[in-house]
């Protein structure tokens, strides 16, 4: 049986720094767990433009289609602001998502006890929070036609079209139900069926798919009410599935419940490949942070947790994913903080590499 394959795309800014810490975790699995990954590395974003004149070379795209999972750091920076839209670093990431057809975006919102005070909500509301938002990623109002700014009479009109087919709703709903089966068998679907026909169809299709998952408790909620409930008592939810637009809004809202948007991972999953694993791209939610690049200030935890998601969803290594997550929790409980989390009074923040080393040491202690 071949080793699991992983394409690493560090990208720009702090991407290479945080990815170097993921490399330590990968090496640890080979040395201490006997799990070897076939790792290749390539360019995406601004660095790819600098080398090839494009934010994603065709050869890199071909590699991404062949491997079991892609792990991306971050793309972009002010150096590339004046490039043509088609050449901007972010177009490399968008091409990966589009051509790999990564239609299900998984955004966890998990609040580590040691960081519960970082949330703007009361500690008892967010402590122990562990929810997952599944956002449809390749359709909806961001992609629907017609779209654009047009002349209509003596004024301009901006048009975007919310459009979903049954099959597009069906496949992201099944991803959410499968995820719910792995967790607490509880799924809430959010839309605006009270005012949008696409929401009516969304609710009908999700309800129909739910018949194939009788063990999952399915509920429906209008997305605006869902936003209210997320801030009132978020722990009532486990898995939430929603469309592209509402998922964009709700996942950022849920992320900030944890107090730190920059510490959170994400996964974008597509259809199963021949080996049964979904096409997958894993990336931290944070950006490239060019203002601190090369200074050892970046927090590698989001990227490390993105690798943990790859262990769980691409490599069927759920126990090892939990081991990595618990190692992160341990170092935070011990008081280690990178600069973005502000060191405790009287204690200096640790560097990017020191945080990575501490997580590796916690993994050692877990054996």
Q: Annotated binding residues, as ranges?
A: 77-90, 97, 107, 135, 224, 248, 252, 287-299
Catalytic choice (101, 252, 320, 357): 252
Which residues are documented as binding site for Mg(2+)? 224, 248, 252
Q: Which of 42, 238, 248, 313 is catalytic?
A: 248
**Catalytic-role residue among 12, 42, 103, 192:** 192
One of 27, 224, 320, 340 is an active-site residue; which one? 224
Contacts 24+ apart (CB under 8 A), 154-160: none
Active-site residue, selected from the candidate residues 142, 170, 185, 235:
142
- For the chain, the C-alpha Rg in angstroms (whole number) is 21
Would you tell me the crossing angle of helices 318-333 and 352-366 to the nearest 10 degrees? 120
Yes or no: say if 71 and 7 are a contact pair by the CB < 8 Å rule: yes
Q: Tell me the pairing of strands 278-284 and 265-272.
A: antiparallel
Pairing of strands 104-110, 130-136: antiparallel
Annotated binding site for substrate: 97, 107, 135, 224
**Alpha-helical regions (H) of 15-162:** 15-32, 46-52, 58-66, 89-99, 123-126
Q: Is 213 a catalytic residue?
A: no
> How far is the C-alpha of 284 from the C-alpha of 140, rounded, in Å?
23
> Is 252 noted as a catalytic residue in this protein?
yes
DSSP state of 294: T
Q: How far apart are CA 171 and CA 206, in angstroms?
A: 10
CB 135 within 8 A of CB 105: yes
Q: Which residue has tokens 């991306």?
A: 72
Helix 301-313 crosses helix 352-366 at what angle (to 10 degrees)?
Answer: 40
- Comparing C-alpha atoms, which of 165, 239, 232 is closest to residue 204? 165
Is 27 catalytic? The answer is no
Annotation: binding site for NAD(+): 77-90, 287-299
Q: How far apart are CA 169 and CA 318, in angstroms?
A: 27
CA distance 269 to 159: 29
Instruction: Measure the CA–CA gap between 231 and 359, rounded to whole angstroms.
Output: 31
Q: Which residues are catalytic?
A: 142, 192, 224, 248, 252
């Amino acid at each position: 049986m071949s080793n699991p394959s992983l394409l690493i795309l560090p990208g720009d800014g702090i991407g290479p720094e945080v990815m170097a810490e993921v490399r330590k975790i990968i090496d640890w699995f080979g040395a201490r767990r006997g799990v070897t990954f076939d790792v290749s590395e390539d360019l995406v974003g601004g660095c790819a433009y600098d080398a090839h004149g494009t934010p994603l070379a065709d050869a890199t795209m071909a590699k991404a289609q062949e491997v079991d999972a892609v792990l991306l750091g971050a793309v972009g920076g002010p150096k590339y602001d004046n490039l043509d839209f088609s050449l901007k670093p972010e177009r490399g990431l968008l091409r990966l998502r589009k051509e790999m057809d990564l239609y299900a975006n998984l955004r966890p919102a998990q609040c580590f006890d040691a960081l519960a005070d970082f949330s703007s909500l009361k500690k008892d509301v967010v402590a122990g929070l562990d929810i997952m938002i599944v956002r449809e990623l390749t359709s909806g109002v961001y992609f629907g036609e017609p779209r654009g700014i047009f002349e209509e009479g003596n004024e301009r009109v901006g048009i975007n079209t919310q459009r979903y087919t049954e099959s597009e709703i069906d496949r992201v709903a099944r991803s959410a139900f499968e995820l719910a089966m792995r967790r607490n068998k509880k799924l809430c679907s959010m839309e605006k069926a009270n005012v949008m026909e696409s929401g009516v169809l969304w609710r009908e299709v999700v309800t129909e798919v739910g018949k194939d998952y009788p063990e999952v408790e399915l509920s429906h909620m209008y997305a605006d009410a869902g936003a209210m409930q997320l801030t009132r008592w978020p722990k009532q939810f486990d898995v939430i599935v929603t469309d592209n637009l509402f998922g964009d809004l709700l996942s950022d809202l849920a992320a900030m419940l944890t107090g730190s948007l920059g510490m959170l991972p994400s996964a974008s999953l597509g259809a199963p490949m021949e080996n049964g694993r979904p096409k997958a791209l894993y990336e931290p939610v944070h950006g490239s942070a060019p203002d601190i690049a090369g200074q050892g200030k970046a927090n590698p935890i989001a990227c490390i947790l993105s690798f943990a998601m790859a262990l769980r969803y691409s490599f069927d290594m759920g126990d090892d994913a939990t081991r990595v997550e618990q190692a992160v929790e341990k170092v935070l409980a011990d008081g280690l903080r990178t600069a973005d989390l502000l060191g405790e009074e009287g204690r200096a923040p640790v560097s990017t590499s020191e945080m990575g080393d501490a997580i590796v040491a916690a993994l050692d202690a877990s054996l």
